[in-house]
């Protein structure tokens, strides 16, 4: 299976990715696998800045021509900001899921909790297990 799973990111089994930022915050989005499964994204709604979220809490929504899907916060923290570009161009999630298609940033996250998420090899193995 050829999958796009960047080595520098961390992942969840619900197909979110986490990138560490230099200021200690993290950026969150959905994986290439998730956007591919959803199909053409037509709408994305991220949580508002200042909102406290718990790990595993549904806090964003991504809608495609097929379905609406909740996006779960991979970590507990405070929403620092949302990707405003997705309001005009939600298809960025399809074209650049690990870059311009990010959903939101979190601050006040526990670094150990980031480390506890799946690394690229573990996420790739999870995708292969669930592909059957």
pLDDT at 64: 95
Burial 75-93 (b: 16+ CB within 10 A, else e): bbbbbbbbbeebeeebbbb
Q: Which two tokens stand for residue 30?
A: 């959905």
pLDDT at 7: 95
> What does the domain layout of the chain look like in residue ranges?
10-130
pLDDT at 2: 41
Q: How far apart are CA 17 and CA 14, in angstroms?
A: 9
pTM above 0.75, yes or no: yes
Look up the CATH number of domain 10-130: 2.40.50.100
pLDDT at 109: 84
> In a structure prediction context, what are the per-residue pLDDT tens digits for the chain, which is 132 residues long?
346 899 999 999 999 999 999 999 999 999 999 999 999 999 999 999 999 999 999 999 999 998 999 999 999 999 999 999 999 999 999 999 999 999 999 998 899 999 999 999 999 999 999 886
């Amino acid at each position: 299976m050829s999958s796009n799973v960047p080595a520098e990111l961390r992942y969840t089994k619900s197909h979110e990715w986490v990138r560490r930022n230099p200021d200690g915050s993290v950026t969150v989005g959905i994986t290439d696998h998730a956007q591919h499964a959803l199909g053409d994204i037509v709408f994305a709604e991220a949580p508002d800045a200042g909102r406290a979220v718990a790990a595993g809490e549904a806090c964003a929504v991504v809608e495609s021509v097929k379905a609406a899907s909740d996006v779960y916060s991979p970590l507990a923290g405070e929403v620092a900001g949302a990707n405003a570009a997705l309001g005009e161009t939600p298809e960025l999630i399809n074209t650049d899921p690990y870059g311009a298609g990010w959903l939101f940033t979190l601050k006040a996250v526990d670094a150990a909790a980031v480390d506890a998420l799946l690394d690229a090899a573990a996420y790739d193995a999870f995708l292969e297990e669930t592909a059957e």
